[in-house]
Amino acid sequence: MSEAVSTTCPYCGVGCGVLVSPDGSGGITVKGDKSHPANLGRLCSKGTALAETVDLDGRLLQPEVDGVQTDWDSALDAVTSRFERIIAEHGPDAVAFYVSGQLLTEDYYVANKLMKGFIGSANIDTNSRLCMSSAVAAHKRAFGSDTVPICYEDLEQADLIVITGSNLAWCHPVLYQRILVAKKNRPAMQVVVIDPRQTATCDIADLHLQLRSGTDSILFNGLLSWLAAQGATYQRFVEQHTQGLEEALQIAQWYAPSPRVVAEHCGLDEALVQQFYDRFAATQKVVTLFSQGINQSTSGTDKGNAVINCHLITGRIGQPGMGPFSVTGQPNAMGGREVGGLANQLAAHMDLDNPAHQELVGRFWQAPNLATSAGLKAVDLFQAVERGEVKAVWVMATNPAVSLPDASQVRRALERCECLVVSDCMATTDTIGYADIKLPAQTWGEKEGTVTNSERCISRQRAFMAPPGESRPDWWMVCEVAKRLGFEGFDYAGPAEIFAEHARLSGFENQGERDFDLSGLSDLSVAEYDRMAPLQWPVRRPGQSRQRLFADGHFYTDNQRARFIPVTPLPPGQLPDADYPLALNTGRVRDHWHTMTRTGKSPRLSGHIAEPYLAVHPVDAQHCGLDDGQLATVSSRWGEAILRVNVCDTQLPGQVFAPMHWSDHFASAARVGSVVNPLLDPYSGQPEFKHTPVRVTPYRAAWYGFLLARKELRPRQATYWSKAKRYGLWHYELAGEAAPDNWAACAREQLGEDGDNAEWRELYDSTQSTYRGARVVDGRLDAVIIIGADYHLPPRDWLAALFKKDRLEDAERGRLLRGTPPKGQEDAGQIVCSCFSVGVNTITKAIREQQLMTPEAIGEALNAGTNCGSCVPELRRLIAEVKAEPSA
Ligand code: SF4
């Protein structure tokens, strides 16, 4: 085993440090880096399973032009000539880049420099637009700069943490774990969760405000009024360091004059609102952590400002244990913001519409053609592509055909696009299928660069594997095209040189009037860059890093005063109506990431939730005629998806929830983006992923089934399918609208040709329209298929576990077609603890029989929950369920 390489996890914005040890034959082991300040050695389930995601399956390894594999020179010449022609004929705004928070800062920097400085258009936007652009806009309005004032340690030092619009336990699990431990050590610490859903994060909540979706501005306006009324205003801070309180307060008092009015609007109990307000007013050290539930809204910027207003009036900012805290979704969303990767930013936190900034950046880059007005933001960009106004797009490291709202519109745009270039590490994304030119990109573990996490901490991502095939880093591709276009200033020897230039620009004529400043890193040698330890910006001098900003009360507005923003609460862009009576909310599940191109490779991660689902409150399920476990069509004015119904009371009535991860690669019709409305926040351009009016109807198929097989297959005759990779097998869920004439033939057709040693067990019942078949090859289970006329089918987990065995026992063979274990064996059930593969049935039985009444007791008995801790909220839920069982 080689020496461990220190790098960072490629998933969420927590930015955990990992130590990776290659085994010399393509495999790796991964553990948390105890020296990294973000995680201090912890990892969540996704980080822990990284070793299962580094194979070369599905990789794009060779450039392709118009469907023909070619070499790099030809591919780059093709990109250059097509972009050049379109720019010559239609101007620079006819081309665009759509990039990603998965890129490294160095990739981002050169892409932005090429588009804004040299091509002369600001048409470069990023998928971070979908995630946190409302927080950026809110920061800029309040602070005059896009500054996150806080650090992770503040979460441990706070006496009250307000978590709003974030299922932190699943989406930023290591931050959640840090809070959990802090609360255990200091039980007086209070946690308030504000969320229309009862999520795993509520497990640590002293107070959960399950407010009506979209009413956050009223709740925080009410808090502002209450703080003023209770004398909680920090008068000296407000007078010396802020402006605009009176107007903001007037509006807040008008819309939210009392906890009673707030409670009515938000659908909350008045006493709960009162408790929240009292705790906030009485506690000095308060952190308000906000995320996509605030940002992904047609009034997301206002909601962010409503939160920030409450910290400004109390002066709770810039000091240990306090401040507003926007957590970012992606590993390098912050790096993208730093280089100006959004269509309305310039570079190094400078503004496109500021003539002094234009002049400065233009001079620094020696840019011949600097863009001076904002480009098209993500949703507008793909609408312009469909209209034919933008004719060439280069998509880097993202999958807009799945992830953007109204995703079917995006597909029409990609189809229509005259020249679509996609640089990606995967050959099979939903987007790359439309590409005219495919460029094989290096991925995590192969490329070198930096990322910035949610607390402004810059870390090196380091390579630990040789790049496969012809794959290259994105920065190299961009620079090669820039040089071919005849531009100077793109001749970099490597990412260290790019980073140094990025650092120099941040400090260029910056006398402290711009927040983002890496002057202290401008002269890093390649060796120093390689060794660079994590550090938080600003870094004005070598070795000088800052945990918090605004401690001195100086902000980056013209008069250095922070601005209160008056917030007029607005309803969601479209309200449910008679045709579409429910509101769809979308988000993440615990063990998957984005469109699953990486996590979909991991059997460990797919064991937790193997199929796309729709969470529905029992009252709505009854109205819609839905049963738990059946399939349903969820449709909006923009599109539809077919999902498995999960009836649960964690939803409020009137609201349904679906995860965002499933693409056409993993399911036939589960792209939730195609259902989501494309309405936008007017300031940030961020789409409203949290609120789309929908209707839900039962999906009635003629047959339902599941298939477990060692080989990856193409489901046939199925109008619905989803697939998940599990240990030693692929798991398919199936349904078909037309009943097969011959059930056995239908089943066997799914599985393909039998080998010589295939041995079949089959059961067909024509009266019940059921077919069950199992194929055993050389004593090992090779495939099981079970089809029935309804969706009540045997459990899958015991059958799936048999695929780990080299030889089936006779008793197991005898039970194959029933799908239940023989006496003496257990069906572990759906995986709860991914790290140790512990299933729900095993845990529930142990709770009952061994009286395990704490997650610690379960951990001692079964190991579950003792590694990453991501499943601890589910362990608590299972304990509560067992406790609630009627005694025998
Ligand atoms: Fe990766 Fe999990 Fe850390 Fe996020 S919390 S960076 S997904 S290990």
pLDDT in tens, 251-307: 999 999 999 999 999 999 999 999 999 999 999 999 999 999 999 999 999 999 999
Instruction: Write down the H helix ranges in 652-775.
Output: 743-751
Phi/psi for 805 (5° steps) reads -90, 145
Query: CA nearest 101: which of 342, 290, 377?
Result: 342
Pocket mutation for ligand 1, best pick of 8, 36, 40, 174 (most atoms within 8 Å of C-beta)? 174
Q: Ligand 1, residues 20, 33, 44: which to mutate, most atoms within 8 A of Cβ? A: 44
- Please, are residues 859 and 825 in contact by the beta-carbon 8 Å criterion? no
- Site to probe by mutation for ligand 1, drawn from 7, 8, 14, 598 as the one with most ligand atoms within 8 Å of Cβ, is 14
3-state secondary structure of 761: strand
Instruction: Give the number of other Cβ atoms within 10 Å of residue 119's Cβ.
Output: 26
- List, chain by chain if needed, residues with CB within 6 Å of any ligand 1 atom: 9, 11-12, 14-16, 39, 43-44, 46-47, 172-174
Whether 320 contacts 285, CB under 8 Å = yes
> Tokens at residue 331, please?
């590993």
Ligand 1 centroid–CA 363 distance in Å is 39
* Dist CA 302 CA 680 (whole Å): 13
CA of 11 to the centre of ligand 1 (A): 6
Res. 888: pLDDT tops 80: no
Strands (E), 699-778: 703-709, 720-726, 729-736, 758-765, 770-777
Atom of ligand 1 nearest to the CA of 15: 6
- Kindly give the pairing relationship between strand 242-243 and strand 640-647: unpaired
- Residues 658-680 as b/e (b if ≥16 CB within 10 A, e otherwise) read bbbbbbbbbbbbbbbbbbbbbbb
Q: Which segments of 7-104 does DSSP mark as H helices, in order?
A: 45-48, 72-90
Size (the chain), residues:
888
**pLDDT band at 749; cut points 50, 70, 90:** confident
Ligand 1, residue 172: give the atom nearest the CA: 5
Ligand 1: residue whose CA is nearest its atom 4: 12
According to DSSP, the β-strands at 190-194 and 207-209 are parallel
CA dihedral 309, 313, 315, 320 (to 10 degrees): -50
User: Separation of 444 CA from ligand 1 center, angstroms?
Assistant: 14
Residues 807 and 755 sit within 8 Å (Cβ to Cβ): no
Q: Does residue 715 have a pLDDT over 60?
A: yes
Helix/strand/coil for 608: coil
Would you list the DSSP string of 375-431? Answer: ---HHHHHHHHHTTS--EEEEES--HHHHSSSHHHHHHHHHH-SEEEEEESBS--TT
Distance of CA 96 from the midpoint of ligand 1 (Å): 31
pLDDT tens for residues 772-793?
999 999 999 999 999 988 999 9
**439 vs 579: CA distance, rounded Å:** 44
pLDDT at 269: 98
The structure tokens listed for 832 are 């709860």
Do 674 and 638 form a contact (C-beta atoms < 8 A)? yes
The answer to whether residue 632 scores a pLDDT higher than 70 is yes
Q: Is 845 exposed, middle or buried (0-12, 13-18, 19+ CB in 10 A)?
A: middle
**DSSP conformation class of 434:** G
Ligand 1 centroid from CA 530, angstroms: 23
Cβ contacts of residue 339 below 8 Å, gap of 6+?
A: 105, 108, 109, 112, 347, 348, 502
Mean pLDDT lowest for which of 75-89, 113-127, 593-607, 681-695? 593-607
Give tens-digit pLDDT for 83-105. 999 999 999 999 999 999 999 99
Query: By the 8 A CB rule, do 672 and 641 touch?
Result: yes
**Sequence-distant (≥ 6) Cβ neighbours of residue 846 within 8 angstroms:** 852, 858, 861, 862
Mean pLDDT across the chain: 95
- Read off the DSSP letter of residue 843: H
Instruction: Please tell me which residue, 103 or 740, carries the higher pLDDT value.
Output: 103
Element (H, E) at 437: strand 437-440
Residues 603 and 699: their CA atoms lie apart, in Å, by 28
Mean pLDDT of 70-89: 98
CB 556 within 8 A of CB 147: yes
CA of 633 to the centre of ligand 1 (A): 33
Rg (CA), the chain: 27
Buried (b) or exposed (e) across 387-419, using 16+ Cβ within 10 A? eeebbbbbbbbbbbbbbbbbbbbbbebbeebbb
pLDDT at 3: 82
Task: Give the rounded percent of residues in the chain with a pLDDT score beyond 70.
Answer: 99
Distance between terminal CA atoms of the chain?
Answer: 54
**Which tokens is 184 given?**
């255990």
Neighbours of 533 (CB within 10 A): 13
Query: Measuring from atom 2 of ligand 1, which residue has the nearest CA?
Result: 44
- At 752 the pLDDT is 75
* 667 bridge partner residues: 722
Tell me how far apart the alpha carbons of residues 442 and 640 are, in angstroms, rounded to a whole number: 34
Q: What is the mean pLDDT of residues 336-348?
A: 94
Neighbouring CB atoms inside 10 A of 433's CB total 15
* pLDDT surpasses 70 at 597: yes
Residues 6 or more apart whose CB falls under 8 angstroms from that of 149 comprise: 143, 317, 318, 323, 324, 548, 549, 550
In this structure, the residue with its CA closest to atom 3 of ligand 1 is: 16
In the block, tokens 């012809």 appear at: 470
Per-residue pLDDT of 467-494, as tens digits, reads: 999 999 999 999 999 999 999 999 999 9
For residue 849, name the pLDDT band (cuts at 50, 70, 90): very high
Contacts of 72 (CB under 8 A, 6+ apart): 63, 470, 472, 480
Instruction: Match 């009413």 to its residue by tokens.
Output: 215
pLDDT over 90 at 835, yes or no: no
What's the pLDDT tens digit per position in 665-706? 999 999 999 999 999 999 999 999 999 999 999 999 999 999
Q: Is the N-terminal amide bond of 538 cis, ω within 30° of 0? A: yes
pLDDT on residue 716: 83
User: Per the structure block, which two tokens stand in for 133?
Assistant: 């652009």
Characterize 314-330 residue by residue with b for buried, 16 or more Cβ atoms within 10 angstroms of its Cβ, and e for exposed.
Answer: bbbbbbbbbbbbbbbbb
Q: Which two tokens stand for residue 887?
A: 């005694």
Q: In the prediction, which pLDDT does 410 show? A: 96
Q: Is 776:761 a contact under the CB 8 Å cutoff? A: yes
Secondary structure (3-state) at 455: coil
pLDDT at 603 over 80: yes
| Residue ID of nearest Cα to ligand 1 atom 8 | 47
Which carries the bigger pLDDT value, residue 765 or residue 23? 23
Q: What digits encode the pLDDT tens for the residues 387-408? A: 999 999 999 999 999 999 999 9
Residue with structure tokens 């769809």? 584
SS3 helix, strand, coil % of the chain, rounded to 5? 35, 20, 45
Residue with tokens 């089934």: 705
Ligand 1 center to 813 CA (angstroms): 41
Higher pLDDT, 716 or 214: 214
Query: Rounded distance, CA 556 to CA 766, Å?
Result: 75
CA 392, 396, 401, 406 torsion-angle sign: negative
| Residue-wise burial string across 751-764, b where 16 or more C-beta atoms lie within 10 A, e elsewhere | beeeeeeeeeeeee
Determine the residue of 7, 16, 177, 592 to mutate for testing ligand 1's pocket, defined as the one with the most ligand atoms within 8 A of the Cβ atom: 16
CA distance 604 to 608: 8
Is the predicted pLDDT of residue 1 greater than 60, yes or no? no
